[in-house]
Amino acid sequence: MAGTTDSYQQTSYGFAIGTPVATQNTNVAVVSDVFCCPHPLQLTVKKKCKGLSGAKLKVVDLNSNVVLRVDGPHDSFSKKRVLCDPAGYPLLTMREKLTSLHDGWTVHRGEGSDPRELMFTVKRSHALQWRARLDVIFQSHYGNFSVVGTYFDDSAKVYHSNAVIIAEVKEKTTFGGFFKGKQDFVVRINAGVDYAFIVSLLVILNETNTIF
């Protein structure tokens, strides 16, 4: 996949990408190290609305190759989204916790719901908040992650240990796209960071806050 070679601090979309993870000798491999690139990576999340049943998402690289897909029914009692590889193999399943006051989600490996396959949970920092903020909770050694989004410009940042920006997303405006039920979002991910993990967080942010 092609990566960006421009300055890490400023992009053509006008937001900082932060310090590359590689320079800090940090590796963030949650789903698999297969999804970690040795260089900064730019992906585009393409969202197409499907009537009242929700949206279909696909993630493409700079050469328009599909690298991930997101699917799942929205017309069921509870929300469920499945992150798949390009061939349709399920990598993660994200489910809303109906009893949570903080819009909690569970994320399991594969397509099941076996508690032994639980990878992490995600919830709002506060039940009422003026901006979108999600806390990512692991039962292992991955450390702390959070996702912070802003409603006024449809953007978000993913933080590691509450300080280091490891990924950013911002809407890529295309004329007429909104009226056709289509939206594109540019995601820039630092070197060494699992892009499947990042996409799963953005999917939950989308479902929790309808920020995108």
- Identify the structural domains of the chain with CATH numbers, from first to last: 41-210 (2.40.160.200)
Which pLDDT tens digit goes with each residue over 17-49? 333 434 444 588 999 999 999 999 999 998 876
Helix (H) or strand (E) holding 80: strand 80-84
pLDDT tens string 51-86: 444 567 899 999 999 999 998 765 555 678 999 999
Using CB atoms within 10 Å of the CB of residue 140, give its burial: 0 to 12 exposed, 13 to 18 middle, 19+ buried.
exposed
The kind and range of the H/E element at 69 are strand 66-71
Residue 174 CA to residue 25 CA, distance in Å, equals 37
- The confidence score (pLDDT) of residue 173 equals 61
